[in-house]
Amino acid sequence: MPCLLKVALNKDKNEEAQKEVEMALFSLSNINGVTEMKKELYLKEITEIIKHHQERLNLTQLAYQSTWEFLIFRYENDKSLAETIVNELHFSREATRELEKLTECVNRKMKENKLEKNEMQEIQILMRWLRLLNNFFISCKLWKEEHAEVERRVVSLFRTTKVKEKRISDLCISLIATIAKSEAVGVDDLLKGGIVDVAFEEIHCLTLEIDTFTYCLELLKEICDRIKILIAQRYDVGMLRTMRTEIFEVFEEDGYEDLIVSFQEMLPFFVDECFQYGLSKNYEDYFIRF
């Protein structure tokens, strides 16, 4: 690792040096999170690499994503990195910016019907970012306004890719469910970012695939569970009622409650077949009662 970090710190702009930097960072990204190491061995160097890119944009998209992948993998075992990742290096802001650039490229090529499966680098890097964000939100407990921007970007990406690029939309809906369960994101943030809208929209699709349907149920149950906890803690009842109204009553005309009840006999099948943690076989758990 010290040798790879030394190569990655090379700031020469010639093509050969840049290729060596990219290969070094890509190699570092393949050191998985199970491998424990003291942050004194890497944090100063990785922070310097990220900050230099933020100032000079000297890395390729793959190299920059690989740098963050190495750091987020370390974060899974060392939560003391939260301050550096969230507040100093602004991971959510950086991920949003990279997703925007990659999404523009993918959308343009989808319109031109120029996507070549398993060959387009932008798709592969985009998918790597989505997987990395999933790891981040599983671990992160530190709120930052920038998280909401990630949420909105992922929701938008899901909507634009769910027809023509299922590989990406599947990762998006999985990430959306993870964000809904993250301690770093509040219920009101889920409303503002459009995650709740996506869940309701998708759950009413007659051709919805079983895994997507399960993710949506998981998401809605998580929101119900959070509000129930706030009720138990004697949180502001008026505010909770307003929140419930915002979440559910807008969709009453679409028959959300009737839809869930209609799945009463099938819920055990969904829970057992999809192996999704946190789901309940009791349809009442997907509602909020005052």
Name the band, by pLDDT with cuts 50, 70 and 90, for residue 118: very low
**278 pLDDT more than 70:** no
Q: How far is CA 82 from CA 13, 31, 101, 139, 141, in A?
A: 31, 19, 25, 9, 8
If one counts the domains in the chain, the total is: 1
* Integer Cα distance of 109 and 16 in angstroms: 29
User: Please, what is the average pLDDT of the chain?
Assistant: 84
Residue, of 13 and 17, whose pLDDT is higher: 17
Domain that holds residue 232: 203-290
Alpha helix (H) residue ranges in the chain: 2-8, 15-29, 43-56, 61-75, 82, 91-111, 121-139, 146-161, 166-181, 187-193, 195-203, 210-232, 237-248, 256-262, 267-274
Residue, of 163 and 281, whose pLDDT is higher: 163
Name the band, by pLDDT with cuts 50, 70 and 90, for residue 177: confident
Looking at the domain assignment, is residue 112 inside a domain?
no
- Full-model pTM: 0.86
Q: Tell me the per-residue pLDDT of 250-273, one tens digit each, with 9 for 90 and over.
A: 556 556 777 777 766 666 776 666
Q: Tell me the per-residue pLDDT of 64-104, one tens digit each, with 9 for 90 and over.
A: 999 999 999 999 889 999 999 999 999 999 999 999 999 98
Q: Tell me the per-residue pLDDT of 214-254, one tens digit each, with 9 for 90 and over.
A: 788 888 888 888 877 877 777 777 777 777 676 666 556 55
Lowest pLDDT segment from 29-33, 97-101, 128-132, 274-278: 274-278
